Amino acid sequence: MNITILRFDNIDSTNTEAANQARQGADEGLCVIASQQTAGRGRHGRTWVSEKGSGLYFSIVLRPKIETQFLPLITLMTGIAVYDTLKEFGVEPDIKWVNDILVRERKISGILAETVETATGLAVVVGIGINLTSRNFPDEIADIATSIESESMMMGPRALDPLAVETKLVAFIGYWYEILLGENGRSEIIQNWRQRSSYFSGKSVRVTLPTGTIEGTTDGLEKNGALRVKTPNGSVTIVQAGDVEKLRSQ
């Protein structure tokens, strides 16, 4: 995959710009990176806090040649890439299904994958936000979010180079994307996600679905990346989309 980077000092949303570029024919591998977003967003239209210089705000255009039913694996693949990137900077992350990267149950990164219809076929725009520093966190997220700077300082002072984070992230996305598209790629992504996530199985969770809320214990993933949740009565619910929250021990 050839990487082309478009940089912005300030932009409304890197995902919006990447989607527009995809519609105009941008090749796979186009990355939109900004120092600040004025309308950064997460899943379900939520706002992603994107203060200037506080995070890596990044979107990439992909044109995957995989069956539509397996497109959700792109989010899992991206989670693996972000996890491996954070490990390079002394962070001990965890992946919460489906699109959050946590450290000590605090959010350090989020992923938003969106499909885009283009003249040359379906594209997937994958947006990634990684908190680089906690210094500009607004009060409402200060207790539930963290950053590379905060976590790596626990291992001693170290300078954080945003470009180094970006470079590692691009490399890991390229690496895991090629694996996803290769022979046995789907099962390899599931297996590697399992190795990096405490949410794969045995985690007591509450899942908010469009139809209501369920509680149970995670019980692995389906072949397309959907989450299996075993409820107290022994039945298994397959969660294709929903918000997962860890239940606190009683």
pLDDT digits (tens, 9 = 90+) for 7-17: 999 999 999 99
Residues 21 and 80 in one domain: yes
Residues 86 and 17 in one domain: yes
Residues 75 and 169 in one domain: yes
Note down the domain range covering 73: 4-196
Residues 188 and 217 in one domain: no
pLDDT score recorded for residue 42: 57
Residues 217 and 109 in one domain: no
Domains of the chain: total? 2
Distance from C-alpha of 64 to C-alpha of 190, rounded to nearest angstrom: 17
Residue 126 corresponds to which amino acid?
V
Residues 190 and 221 in one domain: no
What is the full DSSP assignment across 17-29?
HHHHHHHTTPPTT
pLDDT score recorded for residue 100: 96
Residues 138 and 94 in one domain: yes
- The structure tokens 């954080």 sit at 160
Q: Is the dihedral of CA 236, 239, 245, 246 positive or negative?
A: positive
pLDDT score recorded for residue 2: 94
**196, 221, 238 — which closes off a domain?**
196
Residues 142 and 127 in one domain: yes
Contacts of 1 (CB under 8 A, 6+ apart): 28, 29, 174, 177, 178
Residues 96 and 140 in one domain: yes
Residues 230 and 156 in one domain: no
**196, 211, 227 — which closes off a domain?**
196
CATH of residue 212: 2.30.30.100
Residues 61 and 153 in one domain: yes
Residues 144 and 59 in one domain: yes
| Global confidence as pTM | 0.93
CATH of residue 108: 3.30.930.10
pLDDT score recorded for residue 143: 85
Residue 195 corresponds to which amino acid?
Q
pLDDT score recorded for residue 121: 95
